[in-house]
Amino acid sequence: MLGDLVAARTTLETLAVATSSLGTGVRALLKHVQTSTSLTSLDLRGNDLHDMMLSGALGPCLGANSTLRQLNLGFNYLTNDVCAGVAAGLA
């Protein structure tokens, strides 16, 4: 549902969903963020996110979205593998 909201709001610039217990729903959200043309800031901190939740979704999302300028992933449980995917998506 949150992903649908992002898709429907063509002027949404900031989305703060910190400590929202997104769980595996983060993948659906990232799918819509990937195609957003207005989102510049995404705050996902404190959602107890793990590598398996973001693996294969975050890198492509960042690679396809040209408007996102701020991404907060703090206070999650991410390892170097996901960080490498973030770096690859930004390259």
Per-residue pLDDT of the chain (91 residues), as tens digits, is 677 777 777 788 999 999 999 998 999 999 999 999 999 999 999 999 999 999 889 989 999 999 999 999 999 999 998 888 888 888 7
Q: Give pLDDT, residue 69.
A: 93
Euclidean distance between CA atoms 53 and 80, whole angstroms: 14
Q: CA dist 26 to 2, 21, 29, 91, Å?
A: 9, 9, 5, 22
